Structure formats: structure tokens, C-alpha cells
Chains A and B, each alone.
Chain A
């Protein structure tokens, strides 16, 4: 198995990872950026037949290409950490080891996907998930789409679906009108965001609304929603649900980075003013340190990139920018906090663990995550608890599963690299 070297390794090529690489590049360090998606841009900047890349995204991509000391490895995922300063990686063709001196984790966030009756039916997706699928060419022309859950991502998903020719028949936001109005009223502090919100405003938007169930024989046919005090049923071809974001901390936790103290939301990687984690040579930036949008991710990434190559002065210059977007993140968190009623969505026979088909009733009497895992096989499937572990934390307050290698399903030939000798030493 091949061993490669670099001074600085950045995991994740979203806004945070791109900004980190570009900030660090003038130092001359050899930089590798890896990402499991086919192209750099992260969750927000995807291109494909259903998307046009905004100029900002194009600018960052061009900057990555301009620096000869940045190597971008797309379609590459982290499998394990064979030793202190090495990661085992895999792409479609091969597995290899990469040795680093400094590491910046920019692993972003995933959607919080919560179980309700019918959520496993084909045609149900995440809200950001639907957006991502459409950008990658999923045809939705003429389809009736219901979007439900919480947060501004619902509106962004609706805009993408409509631009692709879908008919968005309802957007159900669980937060109250007062909470959403309060959020809108705070937006003038972040002018760019206010403009975005106005362009996304939608006649089908309803507050204090949540999903009850999805019906269909082999695919989505209709959706039942609770809107305030009453229930409505809407015919629909697709349902997209997202209940906020969960920081991707798996890799950081596997490496031993400390998490933020337990609070109301999901835990994130803990960082100091220089974006350094609890481990001296590992930094973290973007939504793996807490959600808050691409502007916050860019500011944090820039600081982390400068700090990781020892340019503390340049890092400091971006602190004010970061503080501004941290305040925005806090406002987002307050306005779209999930109502307790969301916990009542699953019925006894609702599947919670989608990989092992474990129903809610089988988990209700478990004492915790380990019990559910050992006795009900919850979280033992291919997603390794990334979906049901987050759901179980929200529903039952269970601490999410401790990440174990392999971090994602990997080929045997790659895993063999954990034991086998390292042969060629390549730059």
C-alpha cells in the first residue's frame, strides 16, 4: 500500500475547507484537500445538470486550482486512522495511507432526519437531500412536493425544487409564527441574509406545522400534516424533511478531539480562538464546529488555514467577521429550536433504524444506545448510526454511538492496508 506525505491535510472541500486551503497556500506548505463528493464545494456549492454554480463558488474553486501546492482529491473518503499522524483513504480505484503534520477538519454537517410513519417510502428524502439530488440531475418536473421540518434550509430546498419545475404544494415549518417572525426581524443585522430571505418567501409556507405521516403503496402518494390545531391531507409525489443540521464529528472523535459541552443541540468539535481542537496539531472549521451557514464556515476556514501554518497575525484579522456570523448562528439556533411535539412523531411500528429495520417499539424499553445496539441491532448497519443515532439522541436523549473504524464501509483490499507493510513512498 502506498504512503503519501503532506504538510497540511484538510478533510472536507466545502466552504470551510476551501478557505482553509487558500489561506494556508502562500506559506508554500504542501497541502492535500480530500472530499468524498465528486467535486469541491461541499453541501452548498454543488454543480451538476440541475445547478448553476454561483460566482462565489467558482472563485474559490479557481483559487484551489491556481495554487500548485494544493492537491485536491475528490471522491475520496477517510476509512481509518492507522497511526497518530496518518489516515487510511479510499477512492473508487485504490486505498492508500496519507501522512500529515497538521490536520484541519472541515467535515461539515448532515441533516437531522427523524422518523415518522412512512419515512422509509421511496420518494421521501431529506430537505437538503432533495436539493442535493436535484442539483445532481434528479428530474422532478411536474412532481408535487411537500417540504417539512425546520429552518431556512426548507425554503432553500423549495426554491431549488421549484426552479427544477416541481410544484411545491406545502412548506411545513414546525417553529411558531412568532419565532420565525423574530428571526426575520433580526435579519437586517446580516443584510445579505435579509435579501436571501425575501427572495425565498413563499405562499405555501406554514408555521406551527409538522408532519404526521406519509401514505403510499410502493411510493409517496399523500402526506398528512398537523397545522396548528387541525390535520390536513395533501396529495403529493415527494416529501422532503429536514429538522436542522448535526455537525459531522465522527472523524474528530475517532482521532480524540474533545467535543463542546452537552447543551440543547447536537455536540460539535470544540475549538479555541485559533480554531485549534483539544489536540495540538489538529484544527477544525465550519459546521463540524456547529452549524451557522457558509459565511461562518468561510471565516472559520480562513482563520484555521492561517493558524495551521503559523500565521497568527493574519488569522486574527478575520476574528471580527467570524464573531458576526457566530451571532447569526446563535440566532438561527434560538429561532428554530425543535418543539417537544416532534418527539411524538414515531408510532410503535415506525422503523427508526433504517439499515436494520428496527421499529420504535423495540427501542422504547432499551436503557441506552449500547443496549439498543447489542440487543436490537440498532445502528449496526451500513450508515453506522449516522441516521438512527442522531434520531435516538433526539428521541431518547441517548449519547450517539462512539465512532469505530472503518469510518465508512470500505473494500477489503483497503482494510488490508491497516495490517500490510507500506511499500512505496510517493510524494
Chain B
């Protein structure tokens, strides 16, 4: 796999290695890759890495999806928090 992908995370332009998951891109965008806040407002980041815990839910092009099971695509728009 070669090349890079450019996507937007909360309006910020982020460059990742092609084939990266959105979970990885959250970390590349800065911090430890917080995806959302819990019901009591605690920050949460990808935890299980395999589609089980739902801690990595973000909005991708307007649809709620799991960051750990979604591959970054050129021009994708990702919104964190809920």
C-alpha cells in the first residue's frame, strides 16, 4: 500500500497513510484520538479496536459509523463527539 489520503476531522485537514482506519486518523489529528464523550461527559477514545465496544463512534459524511472499522477515503468528513 502506498500514498496518502487527505480527510477532514472536525474541519481540520488531516493527512494519513493510505489504508489507515478513521480511528488511526483521529490520533494523527492530535491528542490520543478522542472520538466521543460518554453519557456523563468523559472523553472516550477507541478501546477494543475491533467493532465491539462502540467507543469509537463518529459521524462520517453524516452517517454514524465505527472509526475502527472504517478505512479513510479521500475528502471524507469526520465529526467527533455527540
Contacts and interface: CB of A to CB of B under 8 A. Distances in A.
B57 A139 contact: no
Interface in A121-174: 122-126, 128-133, 136-139
Contact of B70 (A38, A111, A355, A386): A38
Given A138-B23, A139-B28, A409-B54, A129 B44 contact: no
A351 B64 CA distance: 25
B15 to A, nearest CB: 12
Nearest to B64: A409
A357 B44 CA distance: 11
B48 A125 contact: yes
Contact of B49 (A36, A92, A126, A219): A126
B24 A354 contact: no
Nearest to A220: B32
Interface residues of A, number: 44
A403 to B, nearest CB: 13
A137 B50 contact: no
Nearest to B23: A133
Interface in B11-29: 16-21, 23-25, 27-28
- Among A111, A131, A132, A138, the most chain B Cβ lie within 10 Å of the Cβ of A138
Contacts of A129: 46-50
Tell me the dominant secondary structure on chain B's binding face.
Answer: loop
Contacts of A265: none
A381 interface: yes
B71 interface: yes
Given A37-B69, A381-B54, A137 B32 contact: no
Given A113-B48, A357-B40, A357-B42, A139 B53 contact: no
Contacts of B18: 49
B50 A110 contact: yes
Contacts of B64: 409
Interface of A: 36-38, 43, 47-50, 75, 77, 92, 110-111, 113, 120, 122-126, 128-133, 136-139, 218-220, 354-357, 381-383, 386-387, 409, 411
Given A138-B21, A381-B54, 15 more contacts: A38-B71, A47-B19, A49-B19, A110-B52, A113-B47, A124-B47, A125-B49, A126-B47, A130-B49, A132-B49, A136-B23, A136-B24, A137-B19, A138-B27, A387-B53
